[in-house]
Chains A and B, each alone.
Chain A
């Protein structure tokens, strides 16, 4: 197992270098002068020369690339030209929201997807099954931005003044504050990596409020998260439900299920204890594959619900030609994606002992 993980890690190094190279090339071919884009009318020739020298833009491209790799390896992603702040700082600030959104959407999709899949499979070809699968097909085909906008309209306008009205934008109602973990625990003078981790988690409002027991803030943050979560999670939910259903139906036709039935187990026990465990393997693969979809969808969801996460930052950075931010964000997203795919591969070994990881 350890050897497999190491091998996969080594194999991802060339891919990672390729990712950095591709992002670097893309960012440099952008048909615009970063100096003029950042400084606009203040950009005279002398100022731009100094600007280029400061950000290393006067070096030949290969030199810039080697320098950039060196920087990336030491977690130094350069400075944002627009905000005049380290890129790593911006990522650190914006990543938690995207992670929170993605995790919530994936949780929503997995729990309800698997549940619906089981119900459909248990009552195969019944009206419940047919309706579930028709809805799943429609769900897969509805774009995040259409669903998001319609949900926002439905829950903020049509259902306004009802108990199930939900806020269509932002993370917290104004007036409600959330205190960070170090503040609550009274360790504000803590420094170093531990503090950084705590600050990072504090920026995921729902988890932060949950850990520190700030129930008012927790409920409010959760309420704000419902619509983005449903908008982002619906396509994965539908995919997971379909996969669970077909995988469970495949497994239920196998001999060992007949054996389990023959020894007198009830339908529920056979399906949940014997069938589901083996049916979940392809479902886990599918759940892992949804991550790319979720990260892509996060860009749209954050735009619709006005959430300042990675997706919104990346579109803003592209429009502002802030290429170091684009580079940094894209690389971080690609790395996260690679790591998750590795984790999915490794999880097979736990779910199915027959698979020998080499």
Chain B
């Protein structure tokens, strides 16, 4: 009996060799997320789009609103010319336009590439706006409780009792059409989602011992919210936000499609599709290419968001 004790101690005390770099919460999280196949696909798609957005001026052969008939190399080209790719057998005597030409003599490929910039920007700004306001409302509601909670959350219920696009259309009617206004409208409609997520997190965290300890140490309510509760509520907010970006891009594009968002000749995909929707029967390339770009963007954010949710949700056991 006695002779076994040293052996056990020796085993336990065997030094654990630490290999690799010390753990960092951000790289660890990223690694867990990137283990998901959907997240890998999402990152690949978004990487491509980000590349296009950053280098749009180099990738696109023309400006987004450059009339092909004028400029340095004027072309004799007809309106609504379908795509012409020399590699795919289009006569080399014709000027090459990957996605064709639209009704204003603009190169569709250049407009789609430049549109990447606008759509990514729209997605981040709209959801950013909704997250900031939603977090604020949810934090106040959850932390204050009582009538403040009741009033704020009933207000959120009212916003949620409209189908999103219909409320957004009503808001745009009041504040006017335009790309900024459309983002604002979609942002407002999305606020309740983040307010609810944040409130739920605050409610579950605010009774924990370490929060009580902070309060006992005299930390102000604002300090507790910002330094103790918010960091612990971030994960669901970020996951929800990533999933929300795709939806926001879609909804702003829908408003632009209806003529209530981005106004022509801005190279925004929804507005490009809306402007040309009557050409669908004789020049479908004007709809199909911006449409594919739009779907791809939404797909990228959805895949990344799904991957993040699967990786970070502790309820799912793998």
- Enumerate chain A residues within 8 angstroms of B250, measured Cβ to Cβ: 143
CB pair B161 A338 closer than 8 Å? yes
Tell me the minimal C-beta distance from B92 to chain A in angstroms. Answer: 28
B254: contacting residue among A141, A143, A314, A338, CB under 8 A: A143
* Most chain B CB within a 10 A radius of its CB, from A30, A142, A150, A296: A296
Chain B residues 1 to 51 lying within 8 A of chain A, measured CB to CB, are: 38
Name the prevailing secondary structure of the A interface residues.
Answer: helix
Contact A296 to B166, CB < 8 A, known contacts A30-B174, A149-B287? yes
A296: contacting residue among B163, B295, B296, CB under 8 A: B163
Name the prevailing secondary structure of the B interface residues.
Answer: helix
- Enumerate chain B residues within 8 angstroms of A270, measured Cβ to Cβ: none
Q: Is B216 an interface residue (CB 8 A)?
A: no
- Please choose the segment from A1-9, A16-24, A85-93, A210-218 that sits at the chain B interface, where 4 or more of its residues have CB less than 8 A away: A16-24
- Enumerate chain A residues within 8 angstroms of B298, measured Cβ to Cβ: 140-143
Give the CA-CA distance A337 to B299 in the complex, in Å: 27
CB pair A157 B281 closer than 8 Å? yes
Q: Is B273 an interface residue (CB 8 A)?
A: yes
- Enumerate chain B residues within 8 angstroms of A150, measured Cβ to Cβ: 280, 284, 287-288, 291
CB pair A22 B158 closer than 8 Å? yes
- Contact mask B277-315 → A, CB, 8 Å, 1/0? 100110010011001001110110011000000000000
CB pair B173 A299 closer than 8 Å? no
The chain B residue sitting closest to A250, CB to CB, is B316
Give the CA-CA distance A14 to B254 in the complex, in Å: 31
CB pair B246 A153 closer than 8 Å? no
Give the CA-CA distance A23 to B162 in the complex, in Å: 10
The chain A residue sitting closest to B292, CB to CB, is A146
- Please choose the segment from A58-66, A274-282, A326-334 that sits at the chain B interface, where 4 or more of its residues have CB less than 8 A away: A326-334
* Most chain A CB within a 10 A radius of its CB, from B170, B277, B298: B170
Give the CA-CA distance A334 to B257 in the complex, in Å: 23
A330: contacting residue among B159, B162, B164, CB under 8 A: B162
Q: Is B154 an interface residue (CB 8 A)?
A: yes
B173: contacting residue among A15, A140, A156, A326, CB under 8 A: A326
CB pair B163 A141 closer than 8 Å? no
- Contact mask A23-47 → B, CB, 8 Å, 1/0? 1001101110000000000000000
Give the CA-CA distance A303 to B254 in the complex, in Å: 11
The chain A residue sitting closest to B42, CB to CB, is A137
- Enumerate chain B residues within 8 angstroms of A294, measured Cβ to Cβ: 163
- Enumerate chain A residues within 8 angstroms of B162, measured Cβ to Cβ: 19, 292, 330, 333-334, 337
- Contact mask A116-151 → B, CB, 8 Å, 1/0? 000000000000000000000110111111100110
Q: Is B169 an interface residue (CB 8 A)?
A: yes
A337: contacting residue among B161, B170, B302, B303, CB under 8 A: B161
- Enumerate chain A residues within 8 angstroms of B274, measured Cβ to Cβ: 145
CB pair A300 B163 closer than 8 Å? no
The chain B residue sitting closest to A14, CB to CB, is B154
The chain B residue sitting closest to A341, CB to CB, is B161
A-B pairs, top 10 by smallest CB distance, nearest first, are A296-B165, A146-B291, A18-B158, A141-B299, A295-B163, A141-B298, A292-B163, A296-B163, A318-B173, A142-B295
| B residues adjacent to A (C-beta < 8 A) | 38, 154-155, 157-159, 161-167, 169-171, 173-174, 176, 246, 250, 253-254, 257-258, 270, 273-274, 277, 280-281, 284, 287-288, 291, 294-296, 298-299, 302-303
- Could you name 6 residue pairs across A and B whose Cβ atoms are closer than 8 Å? A18-B154, A138-B295, A145-B257, A145-B277, A150-B284, A338-B161
| A residues adjacent to B (C-beta < 8 A) | 14-16, 18-19, 22-23, 26-27, 29-31, 137-138, 140-146, 149-150, 152-153, 156-157, 291-297, 299-300, 303-304, 314-315, 318, 326, 330, 333-334, 337-338
